[in-house]
């Protein structure tokens, strides 16, 4: 009799033929846990599905799912529908599991734990455990650093908790949809463990992504905030910090994006209008800025005062730093908006 599947790893992808073999190898080379790997091809046009099938022909743990192009949320949902493991994890097609990640994950498990978050390569994290009685404290801990703790990647969730939450990704949300999903699942969990063990290796987006700009991202972020604002998360102490992180993402990836064709004066007007949006204005008034580093605290204070020129200068410095971290690989086909 075959060993029960402990973990389902779901990999959504669109035009990821150049990176999928490396991604898959980072999973199949792991020991310590019986797994299945769901490769969800979201209507790729570059031969991704054929590349996945070639890998699956050599390893029965791989399952290839082909579906019409519907976006990353639809691809993740396709994987969730078919997952059979006791636990689930998401892996972007241009990222990897860290060496020894699954053995380390298995060693962390206890019957009380419903979710495990591992450190990302290159980041220091502290180990913190929360039981159900401290759920509000746990949610605040995640809200204070959402670009690392409120993604769907880097987490391992008991599938029963995901199903209990009825959690599927909302295809109406195009940015920050993983934060909205992760919060719904975390509210359904009992014990949650944030580990200092590096379990996930994140690959920065390709350099060409820094040149892409499409209108409407500011509105998309506001849509996600509206969706999360209808949940208990909006009553948490660090909800305003989460909102301000979203405002900074919006300024970085939309208003002050290097490829935004609007004149500089118009960009400053748009930034002023954005900070006056009720959800952002309220967060600027109430946020506990001590959860941020010194640079982000300074930018938020300038936003409070309406000092938008230094805000723009700081954002541009951050963009140049981000660009210096990029690689030249092809990526997983989905644009990723991460600080």
Which residues fall within 8 angstroms of residue 94, CB to CB, at 6 or more apart?
16, 19, 23, 203, 329, 330, 331, 332
As a whole number of angstroms, the distance between CA 177 and CA 185 comes to 13
Whole-Å CA distances, 217 to 220, 221, 257, 278, 309: 5, 6, 11, 17, 21
Q: What pLDDT does 330 receive?
A: 40
pLDDT tens-place string over residues 68-87: 999 999 999 999 999 999 99
Per DSSP (E only), the strands in the chain are 7-13, 35-42, 62-67, 87-90, 96-97, 113-120, 128-130, 155-158, 191-201
As a whole number of angstroms, the distance between CA 54 and CA 38 comes to 14
Q: pLDDT tier at 59 (50, 70, 90 boundaries)?
A: very high
**Burial annotation 38-68 (CB, 10 A radius, 16+ → b, else e):** bbbbbbbeeebbebbeebbeeeeebbbbeee
Q: What pLDDT does 94 receive?
A: 92
The CATH number assigned to the domain with range 7-201 reads: 3.90.550.10
Q: pLDDT tier at 208 (50, 70, 90 boundaries)?
A: very low
Q: pLDDT tier at 322 (50, 70, 90 boundaries)?
A: confident
Helix axes 264-275, 239-250, angle to 10 degrees: 160
Helix axes 278-286, 294-305, angle to 10 degrees: 120
Residue 210 predicted with pLDDT over 70: no
> Cβ(76)–Cβ(42) under 8 Å?
no
Intervals of CATH 3.90.550.10 along the chain: 7-201
Entry pTM:
0.92
Q: Which sign, positive or negative, has the C-alpha torsion 238, 192, 195, 225?
A: negative
What is the chain's Cα-based Rg? 20
Q: What pLDDT does 122 receive?
A: 76
Window from 200-204, 268-272, 324-328 with minimum mean pLDDT:
324-328
Mean pLDDT of 40-63: 96
Mean pLDDT of 117-146: 93
Q: pLDDT tier at 329 (50, 70, 90 boundaries)?
A: very low
Quickly list DSSP for 218-282.
HHHHHHHHHHHHTSGGGGSTTHHHHHHHHHHHHIIIIIT-TT--S-HHHHHHHHHHHHTSHHHHH
Residue 125 predicted with pLDDT over 90: no
- Residue 40 phi, psi dihedral angles, 5° rounding: -100, 105
């Amino acid at each position: 009799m075959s060993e029960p599947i402990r973990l389902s790893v779901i990999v959504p992808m669109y035009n990821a033929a150049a990176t999928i073999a490396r991604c898959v190898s980072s999973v199949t080379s792991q020991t310590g846990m019986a797994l299945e790997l769901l490769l969800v091809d979201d209507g790729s046009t570059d031969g991704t599905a054929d590349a996945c099938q070639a890998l699956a022909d050599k390893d029965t743990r791989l399952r290839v799912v082909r579906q019409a192009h519907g976006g990353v949320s639809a691809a993740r949902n396709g994987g969730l529908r078919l997952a059979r493991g006791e636990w689930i994890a998401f892996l972007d097609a241009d990222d990897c599991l860290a060496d020894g990640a699954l053995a380390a994950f298995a060693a962390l498990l206890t019957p009380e734990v419903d979710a495990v978050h591992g450190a990302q390569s290159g980041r220091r994290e502290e180990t913190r455990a929360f039981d159900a009685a401290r759920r509000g404290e746990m949610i605040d801990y995640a809200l204070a650093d959402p670009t690392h703790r409120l993604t769907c990647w880097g987490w391992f969730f008991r599938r029963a908790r995901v199903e209990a939450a009825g959690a599927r990704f909302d295809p109406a949300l195009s940015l920050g949809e993983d934060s909205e999903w992760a919060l719904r699942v975390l509210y359904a969990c009992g014990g949650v463990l944030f580990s200092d063990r590096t379990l996930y290796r994140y690959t920065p987006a390709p350099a060409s992504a820094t040149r892409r700009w499409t209108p409407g991202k500011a509105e998309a972020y506001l849509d996600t905030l509206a969706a999360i604002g209808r949940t208990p998360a909006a009553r948490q102490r660090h909800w305003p910090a989460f909102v301000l992180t979203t405002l900074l993402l919006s300024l970085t990836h939309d208003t002050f994006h290097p490829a935004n064709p609007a004149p500089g004066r118009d960009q400053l007007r748009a930034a002023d209008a954005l900070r006056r949006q009720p959800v952002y204005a309220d967060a600027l008034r109430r946020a506990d800025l001590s959860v941020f580093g010194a640079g982000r605290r300074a930018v938020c204070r300038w936003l409070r005062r309406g000092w938008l020129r230094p805000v723009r200068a700081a954002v541009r410095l951050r963009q140049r730093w981000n660009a210096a971290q990029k690689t030249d690989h092809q990526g997983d086909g989905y644009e990723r908006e991460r600080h």
